[in-house]
Structure 1
Amino acid sequence: AERKLPIYSVEDDKRIAITFDASWGAERTKGIVDALYERGLKATFFLTGIWISAYPEETLYIHDHGMEIGNHSDHHYNMGKMTKEQCLEEIVAVNRQVYDLTGEYPTLFRAPFGDYGNTLIDTLEGIGMRCIQWDVDSLDWKGLDAATLYERITNGVQGGSIILCHNNSEHILEALPKILDDLTQEGYEFVTVSELLLGKEGTIDRTGKLHAARQGG
């Protein structure tokens, strides 16, 4: 069978999505939300069930400041080889948790460790969710300093990029304001992943880029 791809990036001129995966720790989360919120910018936070259980207040803070919450699985296991039943267990539990706290169900999923397979993608499609990867990896979890994070992100970005960061990496909060300000100055608009996907109902190419639907044949 043909290998299915998640969405790594989107065909777009100037809109980009910065995303934060949360599976451990929370001390920097409110600071990240505040940096975005005070600039009127949006981001998507992919949360694990374990994290939501530990940090319900931060989960609500993310939601109440207009950020999007995505599903990052319940336990952060490798899911690339899981059965449909196992996948559903990991996905549905978190959707319920997010709904109970915020009144909204997540529509986006990010695979733990970026580890996906056809079964996971089919399972997600079957419940109306999309699997989201990234095309710009900050590698912030490696403890890179703020200047290096700034370079990696600003040099890697193009229109339609999805940027991978982590909510509790050591220097992301320090690097973030300049990243947001300078890319905004360059004409980029920070939106949620769902906003980035709006109206893009076309095909995903071999690089994982989602294209807008073409008119006609």
Structure 2
Amino acid sequence: MTDKKLLLLAGDFAEDYETMVPFQALSMLGYTVHAVCPDKQAGQTVRTAIHDFEGDQTYTEKPGHNFALNYDFDQVRVDDYVGLVVPGGRAPEYLRLNPRVIEIVQAFDQAGKPIAAVCHGAQLLAAAGVLEGRECSAYPACGPDVRMAGGTYMDIPVDQAHVQGNLATAPAWPAHPAWLAAFVKLLGAEIRL
């Protein structure tokens, strides 16, 4: 077992930036990032969507890239990983219906391993029951999910991140610099420039 493996839970129509940027940035830092999706194997892809903020009452959505998975979902063992990444977009909405996905999120949290969730990723944390009595940022439309799960929704600027315990959460992809830095710090790494 290596101490540098991370798990990224992807799914069709996950947000493009929230999937690709963490995967690339964390890989660049030397982590092995296993990107998985239920019912898919390494070499298959998930379709992503680009969410943008263009002055409408909510985000707009456009087709994104096809993101290549590099590990089989059925092979995931939580003990092999030091942290979990949960991108946003529409994927968390249906991933939370998968009992094994819920078990994985719960196991990471019960072990106190760092979890990074952005945007709609909070829907998965809420469904897994890991937000009771905890603070969590998310896309504002997910605030009710956080509150109904017993958590406190943290309404922070879109380019900021919130950390409580093993959770690093953020409202959306503009927070990547703050969110990924917070997650890496929870992982015990230090970046020096």
TM-score, normalised by the number of residues in structure 1: 0.35
Higher relative contact order (CA 8 A, sep 6+): 1
Structure with greater helix percent? 1
Greater Cα radius of gyration, structure 1 or 2 = 1
TM-score, normalised by the number of residues in structure 2: 0.38
